[in-house]
Structure 1
Amino acid sequence: MVSTGEQRTKSRESLRGPLVRYRVLAWTTGVALLCLTTAFILKYAFDSPGMMSWAGVTHGLFYMVYLVVAVDLALKARWSIKGTVFVLLAGTIPFLSFVAERAVTHRVEAGRKL
């Protein structure tokens, strides 16, 4: 019979790849969103639309990949719908993707569900 500790270890090992992919995309999406927020401020406060040409597209592309990677991790880690939706929306609010990434990492490494 397999003990609970061994099951947690196997579970964490199987989530290592999806967790690393999620962490990388959470950070890149967060940085891209901060660039987009800066672009909005520059465009509307200082009439300088230069960054808008690439910031929106960059964040959009990263966010689409972030959604796929986050759903993959959510399915493999068996998260609740509520936790999954929170993590998916984290890529749309400045700085929240960084907070969500830390929370997700701690929970997955501890073997707890979201």
Structure 2
Amino acid sequence: MTDTTGWPVETIRKALTGYRVMAWATGIWLIALCYEMVMKYVVGVEGLNWIAVVHGWVYFVYLLVTANLAVKVRWPIPKTIGVLLAGTIPLVGIIVEHVQTRDIKERFGV
């Protein structure tokens, strides 16, 4: 079955699943990064710098899978940029994921 975007529903479902996983992973690693910053600058604990590196790579993959989903569901550019930036604010990316997932499921019957 194909929807109005020209993409099979199964392709949109896979893109949505990737987006959901990476939105949660990015949100969790962003919280870990905040923890690392507090430990480093408030408590003075060193040695947690690897958290920033992991978060950076996870966020990069989040950008890729979100752009993939945006193309498939034909989000306008401003909405795409907003969803991409949601992954930079703790917990906002997870909230946006919930709202966008509900919208996509309603629009495409995924």
**TM class by smaller structure:** 0.7 to 0.9
Query: Which of the pair is proportionally richer in helix?
Result: 1
Number of corresponding residues: 105
Ranges of 4+ aligned residues in structure 1 off by more than 3 Å: 10-14
> Under a length normalisation based on structure 2, what TM-score does the superposition of the two structures give?
0.87
Q: TM-score, normalised by structure 1?
A: 0.85
Query: What's the counterpart of residue 100 of structure 1?
Result: 96
* 1:35 aligned onto 2:35: no
Say whether 1:54 aligns with 2:50: yes
Kindly report the root-mean-square deviation, in angstroms, between the aligned alpha carbons of the 2 structures.
1.8
Other-structure match for 2:106: 110
* Structure 2 unaligned residues grouped into runs of 5+: none
Which structure has the larger Rg? 1
- Give the structure 1 partner of residue 65 of structure 2: 69
Q: Post-superposition shift, 1:11? A: 5.8
Equivalent of 1:90 in 56, 64, 86: 86
Separation of aligned partners in 2, 1:38 and 1:105: 28
Secondary structure of 1:107's counterpart equals helix
Q: 1:97 Cα deviation (Å)?
A: 1.0
CA distance in structure 2 between the aligned counterparts of 1:15 and 1:94, rounded to whole angstroms: 26
Q: Please give the residue correspondences for 1:14-25 in structure 2 after superposition, counting only pairs within 5 Å.
A: 14-25=11-22
